[in-house]
Structure 1
Protein backbone atom coordinates (compact mmCIF):
# COMPACT_ATOMS: atom_id res chain seq x y z
CA UNK A 1 0.00 0.00 0.00
CA UNK A 2 1.09 3.56 -0.63
CA UNK A 3 0.65 6.06 2.20
CA UNK A 4 0.94 9.72 1.24
CA UNK A 5 1.14 12.64 3.63
CA UNK A 6 0.03 15.74 1.74
CA UNK A 7 0.90 18.74 3.85
CA UNK A 8 0.94 22.53 3.79
CA UNK A 9 4.28 24.16 4.58
CA UNK A 10 7.90 23.11 4.67
CA UNK A 11 9.33 21.30 7.66
CA UNK A 12 11.94 23.59 9.19
CA UNK A 13 12.60 22.27 12.69
CA UNK A 14 15.48 19.76 12.87
CA UNK A 15 13.95 17.84 15.75
CA UNK A 16 10.74 17.23 13.77
CA UNK A 17 12.74 16.31 10.67
CA UNK A 18 14.67 13.73 12.69
CA UNK A 19 11.48 12.14 14.00
CA UNK A 20 9.95 12.09 10.51
CA UNK A 21 13.06 10.42 9.10
CA UNK A 22 12.98 7.80 11.86
CA UNK A 23 9.31 6.91 11.33
CA UNK A 24 9.76 6.97 7.55
CA UNK A 25 12.57 4.42 7.92
CA UNK A 26 10.46 2.23 10.23
CA UNK A 27 7.45 2.39 7.92
CA UNK A 28 9.48 1.38 4.87
CA UNK A 29 9.04 -2.31 5.76
CA UNK A 30 5.23 -1.98 5.77
CA UNK A 31 4.30 0.48 3.04
CA UNK A 32 5.55 2.89 0.43
CA UNK A 33 5.58 6.30 2.12
CA UNK A 34 5.50 9.59 0.27
CA UNK A 35 5.49 13.05 1.85
CA UNK A 36 4.40 15.96 -0.34
CA UNK A 37 4.73 19.53 0.90
CA UNK A 38 2.96 22.44 -0.76
CA UNK A 39 3.76 26.08 -0.09
CA UNK A 40 1.96 27.81 2.74
CA UNK A 41 0.69 31.37 2.80
CA UNK A 42 1.75 34.03 5.26
CA UNK A 43 -1.10 34.91 7.58
CA UNK A 44 -0.99 38.55 8.68
CA UNK A 45 -1.59 39.33 12.35
CA UNK A 46 -5.24 40.16 12.99
CA UNK A 47 -6.32 38.76 9.59
CA UNK A 48 -10.02 39.11 8.88
CA UNK A 49 -12.20 36.04 8.35
CA UNK A 50 -12.28 36.85 4.62
CA UNK A 51 -8.46 37.00 4.50
CA UNK A 52 -8.21 33.68 6.35
CA UNK A 53 -10.67 32.02 3.97
CA UNK A 54 -8.72 33.38 1.00
CA UNK A 55 -5.48 31.95 2.42
CA UNK A 56 -7.08 28.55 3.03
CA UNK A 57 -8.50 28.60 -0.52
CA UNK A 58 -5.06 29.25 -2.07
CA UNK A 59 -3.46 26.50 0.03
CA UNK A 60 -6.29 24.11 -0.84
CA UNK A 61 -5.84 24.74 -4.56
CA UNK A 62 -2.23 23.61 -4.20
CA UNK A 63 -3.30 20.49 -2.29
CA UNK A 64 -6.01 19.56 -4.81
CA UNK A 65 -3.40 19.30 -7.59
CA UNK A 66 -2.08 16.15 -5.88
CA UNK A 67 -5.35 14.47 -4.95
CA UNK A 68 -6.31 11.89 -7.54
CA UNK A 69 -9.69 10.28 -8.09
CA UNK A 70 -8.44 6.90 -6.89
CA UNK A 71 -6.86 8.24 -3.69
CA UNK A 72 -8.65 7.44 -0.46
CA UNK A 73 -8.41 10.81 1.29
CA UNK A 74 -8.30 11.19 5.06
CA UNK A 75 -8.34 14.86 6.06
CA UNK A 76 -7.04 15.78 9.49
CA UNK A 77 -9.70 18.04 10.95
CA UNK A 78 -10.47 19.07 14.51
CA UNK A 79 -14.14 18.05 14.05
CA UNK A 80 -13.30 14.70 12.45
CA UNK A 81 -13.84 11.24 13.89
CA UNK A 82 -11.65 10.27 16.82
CA UNK A 83 -10.25 6.76 16.51
CA UNK A 84 -8.08 4.89 18.93
CA UNK A 85 -4.92 3.19 17.64
CA UNK A 86 -6.62 -0.18 17.16
CA UNK A 87 -9.48 1.39 15.18
CA UNK A 88 -7.00 3.24 12.94
CA UNK A 89 -5.12 -0.01 12.38
CA UNK A 90 -8.35 -1.79 11.47
CA UNK A 91 -9.34 1.03 9.11
CA UNK A 92 -6.01 0.93 7.24
CA UNK A 93 -6.12 -2.87 7.07
CA UNK A 94 -9.75 -2.91 5.85
CA UNK A 95 -8.97 -0.36 3.12
CA UNK A 96 -6.12 -2.54 1.90
CA UNK A 97 -8.35 -5.63 1.85
CA UNK A 98 -10.98 -3.68 -0.09
CA UNK A 99 -8.44 -2.88 -2.80
CA UNK A 100 -7.47 0.68 -1.88
CA UNK A 101 -3.89 1.11 -3.09
CA UNK A 102 -3.27 4.65 -1.80
CA UNK A 103 -4.33 6.38 1.38
CA UNK A 104 -3.66 10.09 1.35
CA UNK A 105 -3.60 11.90 4.70
CA UNK A 106 -4.05 15.65 4.24
CA UNK A 107 -2.74 18.10 6.85
CA UNK A 108 -3.64 21.75 6.40
CA UNK A 109 -1.65 24.81 7.34
CA UNK A 110 -1.95 26.90 10.47
CA UNK A 111 -5.54 27.87 9.57
CA UNK A 112 -6.64 24.31 8.83
CA UNK A 113 -8.24 22.96 5.68
CA UNK A 114 -10.69 24.72 3.41
CA UNK A 115 -14.20 23.30 3.01
CA UNK A 116 -13.56 21.98 -0.52
CA UNK A 117 -10.85 19.63 0.79
CA UNK A 118 -13.06 18.49 3.67
CA UNK A 119 -15.88 17.71 1.22
CA UNK A 120 -13.53 15.75 -1.05
CA UNK A 121 -12.23 13.69 1.87
CA UNK A 122 -13.51 10.16 2.23
CA UNK A 123 -12.98 10.46 5.96
CA UNK A 124 -12.11 13.19 8.46
CA UNK A 125 -9.84 12.26 11.34
CA UNK A 126 -9.24 14.17 14.57
CA UNK A 127 -6.50 13.43 17.07
CA UNK A 128 -7.92 15.74 19.73
CA UNK A 129 -10.14 18.73 20.27
CA UNK A 130 -6.92 20.57 21.10
CA UNK A 131 -4.99 22.46 18.44
CA UNK A 132 -1.48 21.24 17.58
CA UNK A 133 1.15 22.79 15.31
CA UNK A 134 0.70 21.27 11.85
CA UNK A 135 4.40 20.30 11.77
CA UNK A 136 4.00 18.30 14.99
CA UNK A 137 0.92 16.58 13.56
CA UNK A 138 3.11 15.03 10.85
CA UNK A 139 5.19 13.32 13.52
CA UNK A 140 2.15 12.22 15.53
CA UNK A 141 0.43 10.91 12.39
CA UNK A 142 3.48 8.94 11.24
CA UNK A 143 3.85 7.42 14.69
CA UNK A 144 0.20 6.34 14.65
CA UNK A 145 0.49 4.87 11.15
CA UNK A 146 3.57 2.93 12.28
CA UNK A 147 1.71 1.77 15.38
CA UNK A 148 -1.25 0.76 13.18
CA UNK A 149 0.93 -1.50 11.05
CA UNK A 150 2.56 -3.04 14.13
CA UNK A 151 -0.89 -3.76 15.59
CA UNK A 152 -2.13 -5.27 12.32
CA UNK A 153 0.89 -7.59 12.16
CA UNK A 154 0.52 -8.58 15.83
CA UNK A 155 3.99 -7.21 16.51
CA UNK A 156 4.81 -5.85 19.94
CA UNK A 157 4.50 -2.12 20.48
CA UNK A 158 4.37 -0.21 23.73
CA UNK A 159 0.99 0.91 24.97
Structure 2
Protein backbone atom coordinates (compact mmCIF):
# COMPACT_ATOMS: atom_id res chain seq x y z
CA UNK A 1 0.00 0.00 0.00
CA UNK A 2 1.12 3.55 -0.71
CA UNK A 3 0.33 6.43 1.61
CA UNK A 4 0.54 10.03 0.40
CA UNK A 5 0.25 12.93 2.82
CA UNK A 6 -0.38 16.27 1.14
CA UNK A 7 -0.12 19.26 3.41
CA UNK A 8 0.42 22.99 3.65
CA UNK A 9 3.33 24.48 5.58
CA UNK A 10 6.66 23.50 7.02
CA UNK A 11 7.39 21.74 10.28
CA UNK A 12 9.09 24.31 12.50
CA UNK A 13 9.53 22.40 15.75
CA UNK A 14 12.41 19.94 16.19
CA UNK A 15 10.39 17.59 18.42
CA UNK A 16 7.72 17.23 15.70
CA UNK A 17 10.36 16.62 13.04
CA UNK A 18 11.88 13.90 15.24
CA UNK A 19 8.46 12.28 15.76
CA UNK A 20 7.67 12.39 12.05
CA UNK A 21 11.01 10.76 11.19
CA UNK A 22 10.41 8.06 13.82
CA UNK A 23 7.04 7.08 12.37
CA UNK A 24 8.34 7.23 8.80
CA UNK A 25 11.05 4.78 9.87
CA UNK A 26 8.49 2.49 11.53
CA UNK A 27 6.26 2.58 8.45
CA UNK A 28 9.03 1.68 5.97
CA UNK A 29 8.45 -2.12 6.16
CA UNK A 30 4.71 -1.72 5.56
CA UNK A 31 4.51 0.49 2.50
CA UNK A 32 5.69 3.59 0.73
CA UNK A 33 4.97 6.90 2.45
CA UNK A 34 5.32 10.17 0.54
CA UNK A 35 4.86 13.60 2.07
CA UNK A 36 4.17 16.55 -0.19
CA UNK A 37 4.53 19.78 1.80
CA UNK A 38 3.40 22.87 -0.07
CA UNK A 39 4.09 26.49 0.90
CA UNK A 40 1.43 28.49 2.73
CA UNK A 41 -0.28 31.32 0.88
CA UNK A 42 0.24 34.75 2.41
CA UNK A 43 -2.74 35.87 4.48
CA UNK A 44 -3.07 39.64 5.01
CA UNK A 45 -3.38 41.02 8.54
CA UNK A 46 -7.03 41.30 9.53
CA UNK A 47 -8.29 39.63 6.35
CA UNK A 48 -11.87 39.97 5.17
CA UNK A 49 -13.98 36.84 4.67
CA UNK A 50 -13.41 37.18 0.91
CA UNK A 51 -9.62 37.37 1.37
CA UNK A 52 -9.66 34.27 3.63
CA UNK A 53 -11.73 32.38 1.08
CA UNK A 54 -9.36 33.44 -1.72
CA UNK A 55 -6.31 32.16 0.22
CA UNK A 56 -8.05 28.88 1.06
CA UNK A 57 -9.09 28.45 -2.58
CA UNK A 58 -5.49 28.93 -3.78
CA UNK A 59 -4.19 26.45 -1.20
CA UNK A 60 -6.99 24.03 -2.09
CA UNK A 61 -6.09 24.12 -5.77
CA UNK A 62 -2.44 23.39 -4.94
CA UNK A 63 -3.39 20.51 -2.61
CA UNK A 64 -5.78 18.87 -5.06
CA UNK A 65 -3.23 19.00 -7.90
CA UNK A 66 -1.16 16.46 -5.96
CA UNK A 67 -3.92 13.86 -5.45
CA UNK A 68 -3.10 11.02 -7.83
CA UNK A 69 -5.80 9.31 -9.85
CA UNK A 70 -7.21 6.17 -8.28
CA UNK A 71 -6.16 7.22 -4.80
CA UNK A 72 -8.74 7.27 -2.00
CA UNK A 73 -8.71 10.76 -0.51
CA UNK A 74 -9.04 11.23 3.23
CA UNK A 75 -9.35 14.88 4.28
CA UNK A 76 -8.54 15.65 7.89
CA UNK A 77 -11.21 18.05 9.06
CA UNK A 78 -12.25 18.93 12.60
CA UNK A 79 -15.85 18.78 11.29
CA UNK A 80 -15.28 15.37 9.70
CA UNK A 81 -16.47 12.00 10.98
CA UNK A 82 -14.96 11.12 14.34
CA UNK A 83 -12.96 7.98 13.71
CA UNK A 84 -11.21 5.53 15.99
CA UNK A 85 -7.94 3.76 15.27
CA UNK A 86 -9.88 0.53 14.76
CA UNK A 87 -12.26 2.20 12.29
CA UNK A 88 -9.34 3.66 10.36
CA UNK A 89 -7.73 0.22 10.21
CA UNK A 90 -10.99 -1.30 8.97
CA UNK A 91 -11.23 1.40 6.27
CA UNK A 92 -7.70 0.57 5.08
CA UNK A 93 -8.57 -3.15 4.92
CA UNK A 94 -11.81 -2.57 3.02
CA UNK A 95 -10.18 -0.21 0.54
CA UNK A 96 -7.37 -2.72 -0.10
CA UNK A 97 -9.96 -5.49 -0.58
CA UNK A 98 -11.63 -3.43 -3.30
CA UNK A 99 -8.34 -2.85 -5.12
CA UNK A 100 -7.28 0.54 -3.80
CA UNK A 101 -3.48 0.64 -3.64
CA UNK A 102 -2.94 4.26 -2.59
CA UNK A 103 -4.42 6.30 0.22
CA UNK A 104 -4.00 10.08 0.16
CA UNK A 105 -4.48 12.37 3.13
CA UNK A 106 -4.89 16.14 2.97
CA UNK A 107 -4.02 18.32 5.94
CA UNK A 108 -4.97 21.95 5.49
CA UNK A 109 -2.86 24.89 6.53
CA UNK A 110 -3.32 27.12 9.57
CA UNK A 111 -6.43 28.74 8.03
CA UNK A 112 -8.28 25.51 7.24
CA UNK A 113 -9.58 23.93 4.05
CA UNK A 114 -11.32 25.18 0.93
CA UNK A 115 -14.80 24.04 -0.01
CA UNK A 116 -13.33 22.37 -3.11
CA UNK A 117 -11.07 20.16 -0.96
CA UNK A 118 -13.97 19.17 1.30
CA UNK A 119 -16.16 18.35 -1.71
CA UNK A 120 -13.42 16.25 -3.35
CA UNK A 121 -12.84 14.13 -0.24
CA UNK A 122 -13.80 10.47 -0.38
CA UNK A 123 -13.71 10.50 3.43
CA UNK A 124 -13.66 13.48 5.79
CA UNK A 125 -12.25 12.30 9.09
CA UNK A 126 -11.49 13.86 12.45
CA UNK A 127 -9.28 12.69 15.28
CA UNK A 128 -11.34 14.78 17.71
CA UNK A 129 -13.21 18.01 18.08
CA UNK A 130 -10.18 19.84 19.43
CA UNK A 131 -8.17 21.95 17.03
CA UNK A 132 -4.59 20.83 16.56
CA UNK A 133 -1.91 22.68 14.65
CA UNK A 134 -1.35 21.52 11.08
CA UNK A 135 2.20 20.70 12.17
CA UNK A 136 1.09 18.43 15.06
CA UNK A 137 -1.55 16.65 13.03
CA UNK A 138 1.08 15.55 10.50
CA UNK A 139 2.89 13.56 13.18
CA UNK A 140 -0.37 12.27 14.68
CA UNK A 141 -1.59 11.13 11.27
CA UNK A 142 1.61 9.15 10.70
CA UNK A 143 1.19 7.58 14.13
CA UNK A 144 -2.42 6.63 13.34
CA UNK A 145 -1.46 5.14 9.96
CA UNK A 146 1.16 3.06 11.73
CA UNK A 147 -1.30 2.02 14.46
CA UNK A 148 -3.97 1.12 11.86
CA UNK A 149 -1.51 -1.11 10.01
CA UNK A 150 -0.49 -2.86 13.24
CA UNK A 151 -4.17 -3.44 14.09
CA UNK A 152 -4.78 -4.81 10.58
CA UNK A 153 -1.90 -7.24 10.94
CA UNK A 154 -2.84 -8.28 14.50
CA UNK A 155 0.62 -7.19 15.62
CA UNK A 156 1.37 -5.57 18.97
CA UNK A 157 1.69 -1.81 18.89
CA UNK A 158 3.50 -1.38 22.20
CA UNK A 159 6.75 -3.21 22.95
- Which bracket does the TM-score occupy, shorter chain normalised? over 0.9
Alpha-carbon separation, structure 1, partners of 2:15 and 2:45: 27
Cα displacement string for residues 23-75 of structure 1 (whole angstroms, at most 9, x for unaligned residues): 00000111110000111113233221111101101111111211133111000
Alpha-carbon separation, structure 2, partners of 1:40 and 1:14: 19
Unmatched segments (≥5 aa) in structure 1: none
Alignment of 1:14-25 (within 5 A): 14-25=14-25
After the TM superposition, list the runs of 4 or more consecutive aligned residues in structure 1 that deviate by more than 6 angstroms: none
Report the alpha carbon displacement of residue 130 of structure 1 after superposing the two structures with TM: 1.1
Q: What's the TM-score once normalised by structure 1's chain length?
A: 0.95
Q: What's the TM-score once normalised by structure 2's chain length?
A: 0.95
Alpha-carbon separation, structure 2, partners of 1:68 and 1:154: 30
Cα displacement string for residues 89-138 of structure 1 (whole angstroms, at most 9, x for unaligned residues): 11111111111011000000011110101111101001111111000000
- Matched position secondary structure for 1:105: strand
Alpha-carbon separation, structure 1, partners of 2:114 and 2:31: 29
Alpha-carbon separation, structure 1, partners of 2:69 and 2:144: 25
Alpha-carbon separation, structure 1, partners of 2:67 and 2:149: 23
Unmatched segments (≥5 aa) in structure 2: none
2:72 pairs with 1:72: yes
Alpha-carbon separation, structure 1, partners of 2:71 and 2:149: 19
Aligned to 1:154: 154
Alpha-carbon separation, structure 2, partners of 1:28 and 1:69: 23
Aligned residues: 158
